[in-house]
Amino acid sequence: MVTFFGSARTKPDQKDYQDAYKLAYKLGEWTKQHAPTTGISSGGGPGIMEAVNKGAYESGAKSIGMGISLPFEQHNNEYISPDLDFEFHYFFTRKYWCVYLSKAYVLMPGGVGTMDELFEVLTLIQTQKIQKPKPIVLYNSDFWKNAVNFDQFIKQGTIGPEDMELFEYHDDVDTAVDYITNNIVLT
């Protein structure tokens, strides 16, 4: 599974939505040929999540939705494969399945939930609770470099420079696809 995280508030006319769609579509095409048991996953809701599931669905790949019961998001989006449409009550259960089964992560611009997912994944890899290499893409470097100042973490000594190798910034769909497909471990 390739898991995407990103904002539920992103609209279809925004570049991040369109790029998430294209990235999921291209990764979906790749998985059909090279990893047919691998699907493309999102949190199942609107915004970036909808773009991801739509891209995966329209590529003919497995489109996985890992929704959460929230008072303001009552249902998963319509682009999820019916047999892969999940809704969780607890965040920790949802997070476990989003992270545990994933072979790669794409983080699109997002809010507090996206930040939570980013730091959870980085922590699990940094502490070697996840031991297999898993490519992590922070898509839209302008957003990420302004939202999270990793250089300040290094300056303060709270992370090491080698921790910057846990992820890559990407601004182009094709280079992100190449990075993921060249670094994913499918076994």
> Domain boundaries in the chain?
2-183
Give the mean pLDDT of the chain: 92
- Architecture of the domain spanning 2-183: 3-Layer(aba) Sandwich (3.40)
Would you state the pLDDT for residue 58? 97
Is the pLDDT at 74 greater than 70? The verdict is no
Would you state the pLDDT for residue 67? 79
* Alpha carbon 94 to its chain's center: 14
pTM of the model: 0.93
* Choice between 110 and 82, residue whose per-residue pLDDT is larger: 110
Side chain identity, residue 66: M
Would you state the pLDDT for residue 73? 60
